[in-house]
């Protein structure tokens, strides 16, 4: 989920693969991604040392990145909110390992498509998902995997005219609700 801050290299330094098991030399499907985030979540020695929390800039660290996959640990406070976004061409999976998160799917003509995801649960999604994630509990932690690895993401906001607009951003930028885009 997708996201490193504006961007200090230390936070995106990949950790070499040991402990991740055999990774296929091809893009992973959604079943493989959700299996991977569950397995990594069950290995806290891989991610626990990177956990830290920040209300202002969501804290996250890239654990692994190769031609087919990137793997992240994300840390959440209730102040952290990605805003609406998509993952361009990537599929993804998220395992919540501490606390709880809120995942909202962008709905048109439906009042609410949100769900609480508590520690011990995981979900996956395709490139067609437009969603928004935020922390529900202080000290929440999640493991995210994307394949192909994130490169660009789309961020969404409603402009002054009421039109929904997409802004393409780098995966290296922290996702957060964006300022109201100018109407065009």
Positions in the binding site for Fe ion (CB under 5 A): 1-2
Structural contact between residues 157 and 180, judged by C-beta atoms closer than 8 angstroms: yes
CA-angle at 15, arms to 97 and 141, nearest 5°: 15
> How many CA within 13 A on the CB side of residue 145?
28
Q: Nearer Cβ to Fe ion, position 19 or 152?
A: 152
The minimum distance between CB 87 and Fe ion, in angstroms, equals: 6
Q: Nearer Cβ to Fe ion, position 17 or 157?
A: 157
Q: Nearer Cβ to Fe ion, position 1 or 122?
A: 1
Structural contact between residues 70 and 150, judged by C-beta atoms closer than 8 angstroms: yes
Q: What is the spatial distance between Cα 24 and Cα 8, in angstroms, rounded to a whole number? A: 29
């Amino acid at each position: 989920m997708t996201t490193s801050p504006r961007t200090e290299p230390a936070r995106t330094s990949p950790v070499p693969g040991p402990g991740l098991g055999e990774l296929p030399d091809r893009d992973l499907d959604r079943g493989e991604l959700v299996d991977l985030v569950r397995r990594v979540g069950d290995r806290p020695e891989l991610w626990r040392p990177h956990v830290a929390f920040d209300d202002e800039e969501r804290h996250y660290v890239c654990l692994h990145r190769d031609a087919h996959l990137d793997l992240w640990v994300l840390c959440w406070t209730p102040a952290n909110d990605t805003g609406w976004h998509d993952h361009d061409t990537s599929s993804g999976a998220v395992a919540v390992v501490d606390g709880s998160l809120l995942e909202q799917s962008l709905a048109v003509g439906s009042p609410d498509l949100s769900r609480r995801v508590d520690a011990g649960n995981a979900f996956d999604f395709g490139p067609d998902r437009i969603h928004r994630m935020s922390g529900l509990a202080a000290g929440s932690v999640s493991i995210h995997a994307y394949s192909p690895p994130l490169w660009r993401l789309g961020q969404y906001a409603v402009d002054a005219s009421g039109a929904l607009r997409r802004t393409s951003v780098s995966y290296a930028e922290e996702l957060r609700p964006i300022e109201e885009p100018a109407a065009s």
